[in-house]
Structure 1
Amino acid sequence: MKRNSHFLLAGLAALSFACKDSYIDEITPVAPGADSASPEVTVSFPSEGTMIRVTEDVTSIDIKFEVRDDIEIGAIKVQMDGAEIGSYAEFKDYRRAVVTLPYDQLDNGEHILKVIATDLAGKTTEETVNFEKAEPYQPKYEGEVFYSPFDGENLELITLTEATVTGAPGFTQDRVAGTNAYSGSTGAYLTFPTAGLLSNEFSAVFWYKINATPDRAGILVVGPPDTANPSAPNNRTSGFRLFREGSATRQVIKLNVGNGTADSWFDGGDAAAINPSTNKGWVHIAFTISSKEAVVYIDGKVAKQGTFTGVSWTGCDILSVMSGAPRFSGWNHLSDLSYMDELRIFNKALTQAEIQSIIDEEKP
């Protein structure tokens, strides 16, 4: 230990002589220079055009922004719709401030956020962001438990559930209502969890603009896994499968429903057929399932109606939209390249009059 102490003392002494002999430069202050640039303001949230959707009328958000200056930040003010909601005058890093500002009074409607930064020379930069908090969607119809308008986002509005997106589906401005509709693409589809959607009675309604290529496709499917044939699933003992198949001039909408042990077919033939070569507009599709029957409607008219003993939902945990995948692909009913708009699901069997009322209210 004594020997090590001698080495340490010797090293310190050598370092002291080196510093005195200018072997290591002394720290010299440098003038900051002229304050020539204005502050830079970057708002990361909300960004321009952000749409905030929550189930509450008043919600909280975290406003996030950064301010930089070439010399020194003097002050920062934050305004929401003209009222000051935050101010800052002391900064750990005098050239850069990264701020998260909680705000708990965001109500429905359009809003204007401003972040105003001033440097010590008095130069000011103002960043303005226009965004919106959407009014929470309230179900319009009795028994409505699911609504997706596809207005530029694959979102279910009652529970604010985001779809799981497979592939690259798009949106089209060729729509029935709102701003957009779903546009299918090869290999693309959406899935939603079925929690809260399944009951002894079930209905689905939507608008559909058909693309006959490919010549068959899944449209809506709630089905169980197929453990016996997982690579080409076709287990039809529970849930339902709504799909189309045919030719360039005759596409038939078909429904298959499982009761727990077997499946029933509701194929309307010509009454459920659409001619894509002549019918290039939007068509309204609906189907209902109850404990005694299932019915398929096209443009409010019965395309197929038949007796049924009631649906089983065993193993049915996902809803597929615009494809049979991943639960009903054994017959190649894969992604649909058609358009879909205004998809609604109900926990009751709609009457024909109720379906017609929805059509009359929504039709383009």
Structure 2
Amino acid sequence: MKLTSKLLIAGLMASSIACKDGYIDDITPVPQGTDETPPEVSINFPEPGPLTWVPEEVMAINIDFEVTDDIEIQDIIVTLDGNEIGSFADFKDYRNTAIKLPYENLTNGDHRLTVTANDLSGKTTTNTVDFEKPENYIPQYEGEIFYMPFDDAYLDLVSVMEATIVGEPSFAGESAGGANAYKGAADSYLTFPTTDLTNAEFSASFWYKVNAAPDRAGILVIGPPDQANPDAQNNRTAGFRLFREAAGSNQRIKLNVGNGTGENWFDGGASADLNPSSGEWAHIAISISGTTCAVYINGNPVSQGDYPGISWEGCDILSIGSGAPRFTGWGHLSDNSFIDELRIFDKALSQAEIQGIMDDEQP
């Protein structure tokens, strides 16, 4: 016998032994006529309840569902509010299929999605999801009165009001949450009237990716006019000023609050520093009650203390991304940093509430 033949026989014998020893799994045929269970239908999207609010009256969604069967799926029918919007009968894997079905004409209001799957033995499974396209944004947190996601728009979803745009801010092309984030530019910022924002208690929460240029800037400011210095305003007797300044190679976050007759400072020193070279998003929050103020970075208090209470006298403008026009006397002008998921509350947030927001929005 030739050597090659001997090697071939030896190889076949080894393969046979390996199969018996369990190195290769046996193929178990599916017995015919033993379809015991109906199909399983799982709807991944939409989920029950309201969708994320969008300002458009009509929106597009991708319906996402999966169907499995122990023998073979025959067909799948998808209806929305009783009207058929999709049917499927050809599957690459006849026991398991995952389908994304685009639907472009979802209107405001309540909707019912139904997915019905049939198998070859005549068994049927139907799964239904009731969901809503909200006509208006639904605040996600207690006391939330203002929300800007910066998803390619400078829009407060609570009031459905567009910001006044000064200069040429833009969008970052990235985000901490959602589709985009605010990107500052020289001599550029956003403003809103403070109607309904200046309450006895006040909190703000947002994500921030710091840019060290310029070396100081305003971030979020509500302040009164400075009649004595109209070209370099710096009246700090009312409202608040959240800003940053260089601290060596870092940028330090600081808060100043006006109490009606004077001012109170909340400067956390090195614990309030951000490293611009890290390229990371940081979460910043301020919480102002009638008796205490606190600044949080990434859920941790970096400065806090008692004070006499905030005054809102003359505070009619909210500035985002700059100290201008009400806090420019020390050079805290436009911020080139990124800002995302800005929320304002008519209550003082606790550390646990801030942590909860962070967990929900974690980039």
Whether contact under 8 Å (1:145, 1:346) holds in the other structure is yes
The one-letter amino acid of 1:271's match is S
Pairing of 1:190-339 with structure 2 (within 5 A): 190-247=190-247, 249-277=249-277, 279-339=278-338
**Cα distance change of structure 1 residues 335 and 248 upon mapping to structure 2, 3 Å threshold:** farther
Greater than 4 Å deviation, 4+ residue runs? none
The one-letter amino acid of 1:180's match is N
* Rounded Cα–Cα distance in structure 1 between residues aligned with 2:248 and 2:302: 20
- 1:97-131 deviations in whole A, cap 9, x for unaligned? xxxxxxxx96369xxxxxxxxxxxxxxxxxxxxxx
Q: TM-score, normalised by structure 1?
A: 0.64
Pairing of 1:139-218 with structure 2 (within 5 A): 139-218=139-218
* Rounded Cα–Cα distance in structure 2 between residues aligned with 1:339 and 1:275: 14
Give how far 1:52 is off.
7.3
**Cα distance change of structure 1 residues 52 and 343 upon mapping to structure 2, 3 Å threshold:** closer
2:207 is paired with a residue whose SS is: strand
The one-letter amino acid of 2:155's match is L
Give how far 1:309 is off.
1.0
Partner of 2:353: 354
Give how far 1:158 is off.
0.5
Whether contact under 8 Å (2:232, 2:327) holds in the other structure is yes
1:245 is paired with a residue whose SS is: strand
Give how far 1:294 is off.
0.4
**Cα distance change of structure 1 residues 281 and 108 upon mapping to structure 2, 3 Å threshold:** farther
The one-letter amino acid of 1:230's match is P
Whether contact under 8 Å (1:215, 1:248) holds in the other structure is no
The one-letter amino acid of 2:323's match is G
Whether contact under 8 Å (1:53, 1:134) holds in the other structure is no
**Cα distance change of structure 1 residues 191 and 143 upon mapping to structure 2, 3 Å threshold:** same
1:349 is paired with a residue whose SS is: coil
Could you say what the CA RMSD is over the residues aligned between the two structures, in angstroms? 2.2
What are structure 2's unaligned runs of at least 5 residues? 1-52, 59-82, 84-105, 111-132
The one-letter amino acid of 1:227's match is Q
1:360 is paired with a residue whose SS is: helix
**Cα distance change of structure 1 residues 135 and 249 upon mapping to structure 2, 3 Å threshold:** farther
* Rounded Cα–Cα distance in structure 2 between residues aligned with 1:314 and 1:275: 35
- 1:174-197 deviations in whole A, cap 9, x for unaligned? 101111100011110000111011
Partner of 2:341: 342
Whether contact under 8 Å (1:172, 1:182) holds in the other structure is yes
Whether contact under 8 Å (2:54, 2:137) holds in the other structure is no
* Rounded Cα–Cα distance in structure 1 between residues aligned with 2:243 and 2:173: 24
* Rounded Cα–Cα distance in structure 2 between residues aligned with 1:293 and 1:52: 36
1:353 is paired with a residue whose SS is: helix
* Rounded Cα–Cα distance in structure 2 between residues aligned with 1:149 and 1:334: 23
- 1:2-60 deviations in whole A, cap 9, x for unaligned? xxxxxxxxxxxxxxxxxxxxxxxxxxxxxxxxxxxxxxxxxxxxxxxxx9727xx89xx
Give how far 1:198 is off.
1.1
Give how far 1:247 is off.
4.7
- 1:199-235 deviations in whole A, cap 9, x for unaligned? 1110000000000000000000000000011110000
**Cα distance change of structure 1 residues 106 and 250 upon mapping to structure 2, 3 Å threshold:** closer
Whether contact under 8 Å (1:191, 1:318) holds in the other structure is yes
Does residue 1:107 correspond to 2:100, yes or no? Answer: no
2:311 is paired with a residue whose SS is: coil
Whether contact under 8 Å (2:272, 2:297) holds in the other structure is yes
* Rounded Cα–Cα distance in structure 1 between residues aligned with 2:221 and 2:351: 22
1:341 is paired with a residue whose SS is: strand
Q: TM-score, normalised by structure 2?
A: 0.64
**Cα distance change of structure 1 residues 240 and 325 upon mapping to structure 2, 3 Å threshold:** same
Partner of 1:53: 55
Give how far 1:280 is off.
1.3
* Rounded Cα–Cα distance in structure 2 between residues aligned with 1:52 and 1:246: 38
Structure possessing the higher radius of gyration over alpha carbons:
1
Give how far 1:301 is off.
0.3
Give how far 1:172 is off.
1.7
Identical pairs, percent? 58
Give how far 1:244 is off.
0.1
* Rounded Cα–Cα distance in structure 1 between residues aligned with 2:54 and 2:216: 37
